[in-house]
A and B are shown apart, each in its own frame.
Chain A
């Protein structure tokens, strides 16, 4: 059989770009591949996006403090979720993959990043810690214990139950910072919950950071207790 015989004939290969590919051409590509000059990808945009995220300032800051590769991937997934917010199907598909691999904890980390709360957290904590070591500790602590330190308020949440849940977490773990996050129509409920929590705890000061569609309350230990 001639090596110049096209592998794809007109009926098999309706795709213009690959018509006329020969065994020789395949071999040429394989040689380039083995020489690490090329990779074969179904969706180059995904690779381009992943590489772009690894150059963002948020990523650069994050990796200065976090060495854990799973946390780093969850962080990147958060950045990707943000990019996919206008594509519901892809967004749901990726959320499913994150949940399957990392569980609710990993998904919450990704959502925390997706909502842009890391930059807010970093700015808040930067104002209060006195050494780089403490800064590293606070960032690591947040991502390793996100379930104990962060509450995401949904519009469907029961205010009394959520307040109790947050109160119990704060009493049990006494975190230096506890975050109550919300977006869109859940913001009103978030404010209500924050008020009720603050009435039940002492030694914490609440600070609000908000954008047009998102709100996050930082319940910070008052300085005397923090140090």
Chain B
């Protein structure tokens, strides 16, 4: 069972460090990819805010932490978390 680590109250510099370790970046508002482009949520197609992101293991999928994206993730990948 994957443990969920809450990061809502994690300070932004720490979140950015996490993202850097995983090959991503941030302008302190949005999650950016290696090219410096805003990462889009794969289900809502909207830019992911660092303040509401969820990072799932496997292929390192970063989503906006909203119900639609989370349910879509579970539907696509099964109950992996």
- On whether the beta carbons of A18 and B44 are closer than 8 Å, the reply is no
Number of residues of chain B lying within 8 A (CB) of chain A? 39
- On whether the beta carbons of A29 and B6 are closer than 8 Å, the reply is no
- On whether the beta carbons of B11 and A40 are closer than 8 Å, the reply is no
Closest beta carbon of chain A to B67's beta carbon, Å: 5
Given A38-B57, A47-B70, A97-B68, answer yes or no on A12-B7 (Cβ-Cβ < 8 Å): no
A53 to B81, CA, bound (A): 14
Pick from A8, A23, A37, A97 the residue with the most CB of B within 10 Å: A97
Closest beta carbon of chain A to B58's beta carbon, Å: 6
Closest beta carbon of chain A to B6's beta carbon, Å: 5
Given A8-B13, A26-B17, A46-B65, answer yes or no on A38-B71 (Cβ-Cβ < 8 Å): no
A7 CB within 8 Å of chain B: yes
A116 CB within 8 Å of chain B: no
Given A39-B2, A41-B4, answer yes or no on A97-B11 (Cβ-Cβ < 8 Å): no
| Chain B residues in 8 Å Cβ range of A128 | none
Q: Which of B13, B14, B44, B52 contacts A97 (CB 8 A)?
A: B44
Interface size class of A (residues with CB under 8 A): 35 or more
Chain B interface mostly: mixed
| Chain A residues in 8 Å Cβ range of B43 | 101
| Chain B residues in 8 Å Cβ range of A168 | none
A148 to B65, CA, bound (A): 34
- On whether the beta carbons of A7 and B13 are closer than 8 Å, the reply is yes
Closest beta carbon of chain A to B5's beta carbon, Å: 5
B1-23 vs A, Cβ < 8 Å mask (1 yes, 0 no): 01111111111011001100110
4 additional A-B residue pairs with CB within 8 Å, beyond A13-B11, A42-B7: A18-B14, A32-B3, A43-B54, A69-B75
Which residues of A pack against B, CB within 8 Å? 7-8, 12-13, 15, 17-18, 21, 23, 26-27, 29-30, 32-44, 46-47, 49-51, 53-54, 69, 72-73, 76-77, 80, 93-94, 97-98, 100-101
The 10 A-B pairs of least Cβ separation, nearest first, read A42-B65, A36-B57, A40-B55, A76-B71, A41-B54, A13-B11, A42-B8, A44-B4, A80-B67, A15-B9
